[in-house]
Amino acid sequence: MKRAALILVVVVLAACSNDPQSSLFPLEPGRRWTYDLRSEWDNNTLEHETRRISTEGEVVVGAGPAWRRRSADGVDWYLRADATGVYRVASKSDLDAEPTIDAQPRYVLKAPIAVGTAWQHTTTAYLLRRRAEFPPEIRHSHPAVPMMYSIEALDDQVEVRAGRFERCVRVKGRAVLKLFADPVAGWRDLPLTTTEWYCHGPGLVKLVREEPANSSFLVGGTQTLELIEWQ
């Protein structure tokens, strides 16, 4: 669960220092972010974790150079930026000998930075669980659910523990996962929703993931990522 949640967190961090969106996605080496990750399920289970992310500079991966970001938990993400936007091209854990190249670029933020810009890539269920099956996590049976992202606003105000930020870009991701809810409701389309806020300076300051279940067979919940400090 922790590794999957971490992937959800870091896949939304990227940048290009020479592009207009550079202040939203700092990439230069030496940057640091500390987040609080709060996961709350319908059954009143609550978890708090600290996420620490750092930028490690430019490396060669696959067909060319990429910017490397690393989590304190031992996962690396490799990203590129060009006229089409910012996207992940590979990932690697400390258990892997080499990075795993993405079959298709996974956009973090697609150009232009304007309301209505949209893109798609896959997600999974990070919170939904079955109450009486093993393994309980839905992500094992549904690892690649299509999610559509779009830029909804350019001037949101966001207040987190790291401070108050203005002119933030709000990105919304929406997906639907068909699951057997219970014998009464049968199969239902369950929404998976992600809301992300990127602000000039720190980049990602807040993320809210919502996966409601409303089912006797399933447990859903909400996950909130909040920036605590950055440099």
What are the tens digits of pLDDT across the range 162-214?
Answer: 999 999 999 999 999 999 888 888 899 999 999 999 999 999 999 999 999 98
Q: Average pLDDT of 81-99?
A: 92
Token representation of residue 206: 């807040």
What are the tens digits of pLDDT across the range 3-51?
Answer: 444 334 343 433 333 444 567 888 889 999 999 999 999 989 999 999 9
Label residue 68 by pLDDT band (50, 70, 90): very high
Task: Look over the chain and give the mean of its residue pLDDT values, rounded to a whole number.
Answer: 89
Q: Average pLDDT of 97-118?
A: 95
Token representation of residue 204: 């990602």
